[in-house]
Amino acid sequence: MVPPLITHLYTADPSAHVFNGKIYVYPSHDRESDIEFNDNGDQYDMNDYHVFSTPSIDPPALVTDHGVALRVEDVPWASKQLWAPDAAVRDGVYYLYFPARDKDGIFRIGVARADKPEGPFKADPDYIPGSYSIDPAVLVDDVAVGDDATPAYLYFGGLWGGQLQCYQGPDGRGDGNAETYDASWLGPKEPSGEGAAAMGPRVVRLNPADMGTLAEPVRTIQILAPETGKPIAADDHDRRFFEAAWMHKRNGLYYFSYSTGDTHYLCYATGTSPYGPFTYRGRMLEPVVGWTTHHSVVEFEGRWYLFHHDSSLSGGVSHLRSVKVKEIFYNAAGDIVSEPEA
Ligand code: FUB
């Protein structure tokens, strides 16, 4: 079994980026809690973030813990549960995007800023207006939109504890915005039944002037079944989006990857636009020890790596996880494969 990358803390949900020639990892910082395990994820009661870096990944060496980068008590709008973060850089400013519950218990997405990739980060006074749910992931793209030369897209969403199912909108198709919040969907519920399409993750371009407001209405991403060309069915739990959005781009193709939650797969789908639609393409990781699975994909020195987590270091305790990394490969058709093509 691949050893954990970090062993002195429990870490999860690794978002990896190459900044200044080094790999920086932005994970959740898991901690012990006496909160009883439930399907709402209350036991995932994290209260700060650490940032890690390494100059070498093969093998991983000299992983530096840069210490606490942000604490929940320093986020004016947040009450608890600092879940899976991501980071981005633009014009020399480093941004940490993170979900937390607001003072009313509703998950929102916030941003914090720093002048170095390792922080410390200072949170904006309020969450991103119009944001909701969990698991932000940001792609800074190289295809201009108007005068925005490097548009930054925020992907987000997560079912059940992540509350995405509360934003189905008036027509029930999952294209709701923040104002359609329906608390009656809180808990382990999601659309189901004959003809029901799976809920989609969300995407929105960030305002280039501040990287902390939305430049447009939030859109729902469609993930299509290749055999029908139609959205994946709500009851197709082996392939439907649950949480843990990640976007990477290779050879001009957008790879949207995600966790299927209760079936514990990491899957990916591809498309030609950052907004989708994306066509389901396959799995990139089988179930790991523990309930959750979450990841990022990064290119470093011409090779591609999958950062992910499992609960092996804690002996299988689902909310005490550890970040791992493995190399991934692509075949000539662009499928992600675990061995290099001969
Ligand atoms: O770490 C808390 C939550 O668990 C994340 O936000 C989800 O993606 C899952 O990994």
Residue 338: per-residue pLDDT: 87
Whether 243 is a known active-site residue: answer: yes
Least trusted range by pLDDT, from 108-112, 172-176, 213-217: 172-176
Please tell me the predicted confidence (pLDDT) of residue 237: 98
Nearest protein CA to atom 2 of ligand 1, as residue:
83
**Residue 322, CB-side half-sphere exposure with 13 Å CA sphere:** 18
> What distance in angstroms lies between residue 287's CA and the mean position of ligand 1's atoms?
15
CA distance 192 to 142: 38
pLDDT at position 176 is 61
pLDDT at residue 4, rounded to an integer:
87
Q: What is the pLDDT of residue 57?
A: 84
What letters, b where the CB count within 10 A reaches 16 and e where it falls short, cover 204-238? bbbebeebbebbeebbbbbbbbeeeeebbbbeebe
Portion of the chain with pLDDT greater than 70, in percent: 96
Q: What is the mean pLDDT of residues 321-328?
A: 96
**DSSP SS3 for 66:** strand
Phi and psi angles of residue 71, each rounded to the nearest 5 degrees, phi first: -115, 150
Question: Which residue did the predictor score with more confidence, 333 or 4?
Answer: 333
- If pLDDT is split at 50, 70 and 90, which confidence band does 170 have? low
Nearest to 5 by CA among 30, 36, 27, 34: 27
Atom of ligand 1 nearest to the CA of 134: 6
Q: Which of 13, 86, 118, 190 is catalytic?
A: 13
Rounded CA gap, 324 and 53, in Å? 13
Q: Indicate whether residue 84 lines ligand 1 (CB < 6 A).
A: yes
3-state secondary structure of 198: coil
pTM value > 0.90: yes
Give the tens place of pLDDT for each residue, 207-238: 999 999 999 999 999 999 999 999 999 999 99
* 293-305 average pLDDT score: 97
**pLDDT average, residue stretch 182-201:** 95
Mean pLDDT, the chain, integer: 94
152 Cβ below 6 A of ligand 1: no
Q: Tell me what percent of the residues of the chain surpass a pLDDT of 90.
A: 89
Query: For residue 3, what pLDDT band results from cuts at 50, 70 and 90?
Result: confident
Tell me if 13 CB under 6 Å of ligand 1: yes
Per-residue model confidence as pLDDT tens digits over 272-295: 999 999 999 999 999 999 999 999
Please answer whether residues 16 and 24 qualify as being in contact, where contact means their C-beta atoms are separated by less than 8 angstroms.
Answer: yes
Report phi then psi at 294, rounded to 5.
-160, 155
Question: Two tokens at 280?
Answer: 């389901």
- Tell me 197's DSSP state: B
More confident residue, 69 or 172: 69
What is the tens place of the pLDDT at every residue in 254-267?
999 999 999 999 99
Cα–Cα dist 226/30, whole Å = 37
What stretches of the chain show up as alpha helix (H) in DSSP? none
Atom 9 in ligand 1: which residue has the minimum CA distance? Answer: 292
- The catalytic position among 118, 175, 243, 310 is 243
pLDDT top residue among 94 and 61: 94
Known active-site residue 104? no
Sign of dihedral through CA atoms 49, 55, 58, 62?
negative
pLDDT over 90 (residue 180): no
Task: Report how far apart, in Å, the C-alpha atoms of 291 and of each of 44, 176, 312, 316, 321 are.
Answer: 12, 28, 11, 9, 10
Name the band, by pLDDT with cuts 50, 70 and 90, for residue 1. low
- If pLDDT is split at 50, 70 and 90, which confidence band does 239 have? very high
Residue 242 near ligand 1, beta carbon < 6 Å: no
In 10 A of CB 60, how many CB atoms? 20
Q: Ligand 1 pocket test: which of 9, 10, 28, 156 has the largest number of ligand atoms within 8 Å of its C-beta?
A: 28
Q: Is 34 left (phi over 0), alpha (psi -120 to 50) or beta?
A: alpha
In this predicted structure, what is the pLDDT of residue 341? 82
